[in-house]
Amino acid sequence: MSSYLEQAKAILEAYLTQKGLRRTEERYKILKAIYEDLTHFDADSLYHHLLKGGYRLSRATVYNTLELLLACGLIKRYTFGEGSTVYERSLGRRQHDHLICLDCGFIQEFCDPQMAYVVEGVGRLFQMKPVQHELIVYAHCLADSCPNRRETYTFVQE
């Protein structure tokens, strides 16, 4: 059984072939970083993560590649809080929603099966076909000393 990174590579290659696009080192490096090192990240933290790893590339390539990976379904993009954009890998992950700590920015993923009914119900009510939903719950830690460190959205444990 192959790793998610290997599966992701296979999907990316299939997509590139189908579209007549090229296998560049940048695309593989970025995919690897996303599938091995990062959970919730933005374009800039991905860019700096690669630089820190000793790999030189430009921001434009990061943005281009994120669009590419979105197009072939290997990552998802969210917008949290005051409009900050956050990406995460999608392979091997079931649909889930996000609980965000207002004190420290900690992101907790969760999955509530009731959401499927809510989404289906609203689609039926308004004669529309839901294709996706995003639920974000903003909350405070109950512990007075919030245990979660305030960091960037990179490297958040699950």
Site membership for its own copies, residue 44 (CB under 8 A): no
- Binding of its own copies at residue 145 (CB under 8 A)? no
CB nearer to its own copies: give 60 or 142.
142
Count Cβ neighbours within 10 Å for each residue of 24-47 and write b for 16 or more, e otherwise. Answer: eebbebbbbbbbeebbbbbbebbb
Closest CA relative to residue 31, chosen from 51, 12, 15, 58: 12
Give the DSSP per-residue string, 2-15.
Answer: --HHHHHHHHHHHH
Nearer to DNA, 20 or 113 (CB): 20
| Residue 127 is a binding residue for its own copies (CB under 8 A) | yes
Question: What ranges in 20-105 are assigned the alpha helix state H?
Answer: 25-36, 43-52, 59-71
x-marked contacts with its own copies along 75-94 as a string, rule CB under 8 A: ----xxxxx-x---------
Among 19, 23, 59, 140, binds its own copies (CB under 8 A): 140
Binding site residues, DNA, CB under 7 A: 16, 20-27, 42-44, 56-61, 63-65, 67, 83, 85
